[in-house]
Amino acid sequence: MNVFRLLGDMSHLLAILILLLKMWKTRSCAGISGKTQILFALVFTTRYLDLFSSFISIYNTTMKLFFIASSYFTIFLMYSKFKATYDSNHDSFRMEFLVVPVGGLAFLVNHEFLPLEILWTFSIYLESVAILPQLFMVSKTGEAETITSHYLFALGSYRLLYIFNWVYRYYFDGFFDLIAVVAGCVQTILYCDFFYLYITKVLKGKKLSLPA
């Protein structure tokens, strides 16, 4: 565990807490993509099956359980409790366009052709593109609530911090996971446009809105 990894995890945790807090306080999930949240639940479920096969640390296990539980709780809030506020008309990205190619790629490019390993690879690839329905929704409506942009910023920062963590691990631990690094870089690149808007607009007190 190095400082970048810890900050990355905390940023990820913060993102989830911001999202839950936003929904709970406003009693609304307006502006949030249910598709992205379903994909995240799928990511956590397929990646953390190793909870049953290997133990790494209390920290690791606790975080995994929290990520899985919070992702299903988010889906429950969106599709059941606060269903009336869910903006499904603008959440029209087709999940199968991501899940099917990513599934195929996980079969073809993996560290080892074993069920758990293929599922882990699938989750890494899927996570890298899971934000697309949310970004698509923001671009479709042309705006995002400030709290939603804080959520997206924390979520994007998490993978950027992981890249620093991988650089650190490469030099100091001799550790290098090509699949995680390439997917992590793709994931971070997808946020670049949003990072730019966040820094130039939201941090200056303006609402995030896209030019018409």
135 binds other proteins (CB under 8 A): no
17 binds other proteins (CB under 8 A): no
Q: How far is the CB of 67 from other proteins (least distance, A)?
A: 7
Query: Which residue lies nearer to other proteins by CB, 5 or 81?
Result: 5
| Angstrom distance (rounded) from CA 71 to CA 77 | 10
Contacting residue, 27, 83, 111, 207, with other proteins by CB under 8 A: 111
Give the footprint of other proteins on residues 20-79 (CB under 8 A): 47, 50, 56, 60, 63-64, 67
| Angstrom distance (rounded) from CA 78 to CA 91 | 12
112 binds other proteins (CB under 8 A): yes
Angle 125-49-75 from CA coordinates, rounded to 5°: 70
140 binds other proteins (CB under 8 A): no
Q: How many residues bind other proteins (CB under 8 A)?
A: 22
Please state the separation of Cα 111 from the chain's center in Å: 22
| Angstrom distance (rounded) from CA 211 to CA 174 | 45
Q: What is the DSSP letter of 106?
A: H
Q: At what angle do helices 146-172 and 178-200 cross, to 10 degrees?
A: 140
Give the CA radius of gyration of the chain: 17
Give the x/- contact pattern for other proteins in 162-181, rule: CB under 8 A: x--x---------xxxxxx-
Contact positions vs other proteins (CB under 8 A): 5, 9, 12, 47, 50, 56, 60, 63-64, 67, 111-112, 117, 120, 162, 165, 175-180
